[in-house]
């Protein structure tokens, strides 16, 4: 018979091995069911029995320990329950005492308390973590900020640190879905613009599509011709004003440098100075010796001046050949407006 403290089923008579085994399994099943334990479908005899010398005994169910061993083959000895909150046994056991419950460390909190069939479950406190495959002797502090050029993908939890990744990683799917739609919209807008600027005066509405395509090609050809036309061939060259003092000359040169630094696009600046004759070594030295992008670019222009490669008209012409004619026009206008340079007559 079973009770709350221990149980010791009566030994069955010989010649009834099958009935004896069935009775023992039912006893273990109902005790295990009471404590939330399920016996596996495929049973290993080594998991059910243990050896007491030369006698094979049935193991006690989870939540119990062996108080006294069996004396008859394949029977159950006396099983006693573990002490709630202090000891436990999680599986079928042949041990003569229960296992001691774990006590959470100071850097942990108790997720679930110890029961007679389950050990204490501890986890790291908020703001700390411990990887599940780690021995977790101490909880590690969560990363509070991501490295440069990365964004937070997932917050820190008790088992995983903060997850960071480049921002592009999070928008690849959205971009893949939006790009085709944006492409179609762009083509429609381009067609409308071509019609509005190059074709709106035409009265033959029945041939819009072929005419739009034809006019579009013509417009592209005209645009190409305009960007390839040298800037200085259309406009007079620039020169310093007469009777200029050395200080005024230096001020004019420094002012010109600043105009080029401010207005030449960042992505094309190194190509600009390289095509004017500045070596790659000079470019790298300018970067290494100066902090701040503007100081680096100013040093590159100063190096061209020292190498006797400074001529504002050549520099403006170079911008025009790089299809930066609008930038050349803006620089010219500002240089003349500031009174540093004059147009040739």
Euclidean distance between CA atoms 16 and 10, whole angstroms: 13
Q: How much is the pLDDT for 32? A: 52
pTM here is: 0.39
Q: How much is the pLDDT for 10? A: 40
Q: Residue-wise pLDDT tens for the chain (345 aa)?
A: 333 345 444 434 444 445 555 555 655 555 555 544 455 555 667 789 999 899 999 999 999 999 999 999 989 999 999 999 999 999 999 999 999 999 998 889 999 999 999 999 998 999 998 888 777 788 888 988 888 888 888 999 888 889 888 886 555 555 666 778 888 888 888 877 766 666 554 444 444 444 434 444 444 444 443 444 344 445 557 777 777 788 888 888 888 889 899 999 999 999 999 999 999 998 999 889 888 888 889 999 888 888 877 788 888 888 989 999 899 889 888 888 887 777 775
Q: How much is the pLDDT for 219? A: 41
| Domain ranges for the chain | 17-100, 232-343
Q: What is the third-level CATH fold of 232-343?
A: Death Domain, Fas (1.10.533)
Q: How much is the pLDDT for 30? A: 56
Mention the CATH class of domain 17-100. mainly beta
End-to-end C-alpha distance for the chain, whole angstroms: 122
Euclidean distance between CA atoms 119 and 114, whole angstroms: 5
């Amino acid at each position: 018979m079973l009770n709350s403290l221990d149980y010791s089923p009566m030994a069955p008579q010989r010649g009834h091995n099958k009935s004896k085994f069935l009775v023992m399994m039912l006893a273990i099943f109902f005790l295990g069911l009471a404590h939330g334990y399920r016996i596996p479908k495929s049973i290993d005899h080594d998991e059910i029995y243990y050896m007491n010398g030369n006698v094979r005994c049935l193991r006690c169910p989870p939540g119990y320990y062996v108080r006294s061993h069996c004396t008859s083959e394949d029977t159950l000895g006396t099983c006693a329950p573990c002490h709630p909150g202090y000891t436990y046994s999680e599986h079928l056991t042949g041990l003569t005492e229960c296992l001691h419950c774990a006590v959470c460390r100071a850097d942990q909190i108790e997720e679930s308390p110890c029961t007679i069939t389950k050990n204490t479950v501890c986890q790291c406190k908020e703001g700390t973590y411990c990887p599940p495959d780690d021995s977790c002797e101490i909880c590690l502090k969560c990363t509070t900020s991501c490295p440069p050029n990365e964004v937070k993908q997932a917050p820190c939890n008790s088992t995983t640190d903060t997850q960071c990744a480049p921002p592009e990683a999070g928008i690849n799917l959205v971009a893949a879905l939006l790009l085709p739609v944006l492409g179609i919209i762009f083509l429609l807008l381009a067609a409308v613009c071509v019609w509005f600027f190059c074709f709106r005066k035409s009265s033959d509405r029945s041939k819009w599509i072929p005419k739009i395509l034809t006019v579009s090609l013509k417009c592209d050809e005209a645009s190409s011709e305009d960007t390839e036309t040298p800037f200085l061939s259309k406009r007079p060259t620039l020169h310093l004003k007469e009777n200029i003092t050395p200080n005024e000359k230096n001020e004019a040169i420094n002012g010109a440098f600043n105009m080029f630094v401010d207005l030449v696009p960042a992505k094309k600046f190194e190509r600009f100075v390289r095509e004017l004759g500045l070596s790659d070594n000079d470019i790298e030295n300018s970067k290494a010796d100066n902090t701040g992008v503007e100081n680096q670019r100013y040093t590159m222009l100063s190096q061209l001046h020292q190498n006797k490669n400074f001529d504002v008209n050549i520099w403006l012409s170079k911008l025009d050949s790089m299809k930066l004619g609008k930038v050349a026009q803006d620089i010219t206008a500002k240089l003349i407006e500031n009174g540093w340079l004059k147009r040739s007559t």
